[in-house]
Structure 1
Amino acid sequence: MSCHLSELVLNSRDPEMMSRFWREVLGYVELGREEGDIEIGPESGFGGPAPTIVFALVAEEKTEPLRLHLDVNPVDRDQEAELERLLGLGARPATVGQTGEESWYVLADPEGNEFCLLRSRLPKP
């Protein structure tokens, strides 16, 4: 028996803004709301092959780099075009010690959570 990664929970000062940003990034939909928290995920909902994301409302701001970060891959365009799309959605470049020779881009979402845009294009799910 093994476990299945079903959801990720990210603390957020503004779950509304964060869910809107990540829905656009991932093509997810809003699945539910409860006590200030917002859950997003694929149209198939909770329990499918892709995890859902819950933005849990918290009062405090993010103060240090995450010990876990998300990696995303383009699905319908090349890496450069996807970078421009993500920046247009509100992502910004982030520095976590990269050398500049990496094949990926390090970005931060609107609340400063680091994530990487990888080069390989994946098929649409």
Structure 2
Amino acid sequence: MAARITELVLDCTDPERLAAFWGGVLGYEVLGRDDESVEIGPPDRRTTLLFLRNPDRKLQKLRLHIDVKATDRDQAEELERLLALGATHVDIGQGDVSWYTLADPEGNEFCLLSGRADP
């Protein structure tokens, strides 16, 4: 028997803002919220993201990050969409690579990979 990841929890100072950003990135909807958190996920609720209010600001590079691929456009078009949603370019020493390293509105790094993923 094995375990399955059911949710990823991300501490943040503004759960609503981060949930809106990541909901836009992933096409996820709000599944629940209270004064301290917002949970988003796909309609099947298979794996969700929970944004939990924490007053501490991020101080260093994350040891775990999210990688995303576009499902219906090329990498350059997806990069434009993510930047319009509020992502920013970040340099963590990645050098000349085939992906883009970005940060969400609270500075959490994630990568936009080349190629397409199944929707």
Task: Tell me the TM-score normalized by structure 1.
Answer: 0.92
Aligned ranges 1:46-57 → 2 under 5 Å: 48=46, 51-57=47-53
What is the distance in 2 between the residues matched to 1:35 and 1:112? 22
- Determine whether 1:118 maps to 2:79: no
- Residue of 92, 99, 104 corresponding to 1:109: 104
- Residue of 72, 75, 84 corresponding to 1:76: 72
Structure 2: runs of 5+ lacking an equivalent: none
Number of aligned positions between the proteins: 119
Deviation at 1:34, TM superposition (A): 3.1
Match for residue 44 of structure 1? 44
Percent of residue pairs bearing the same amino acid type? 51
Deviation at 1:33, TM superposition (A): 1.2
- Determine whether 1:27 maps to 2:27: yes
Deviation at 1:123, TM superposition (A): 1.6
Q: Helix, strand or coil for the counterpart of 2:49?
A: strand
- Determine whether 1:85 maps to 2:98: no
The one-letter amino acid of 1:113's match is: N
What is the distance in 1 between the residues matched to 2:18 and 2:42? 16
Larger relative strand fraction:
2
State the superposition RMSD in angstroms: 0.8
Task: Tell me the TM-score normalized by structure 2.
Answer: 0.97
Structure 1: runs of 5+ lacking an equivalent: none
Match for residue 12 of structure 2? 12
Which stretches of structure 1, 4 residues or longer, exceed 3 Å deviation after superposition? none
**CA shift digits 1:3-43 (9 cap, x unpaired):** 10110000010001000000000000000013410100001
Q: Helix, strand or coil for the counterpart of 2:84?
A: helix
Deviation at 1:120, TM superposition (A): 1.6
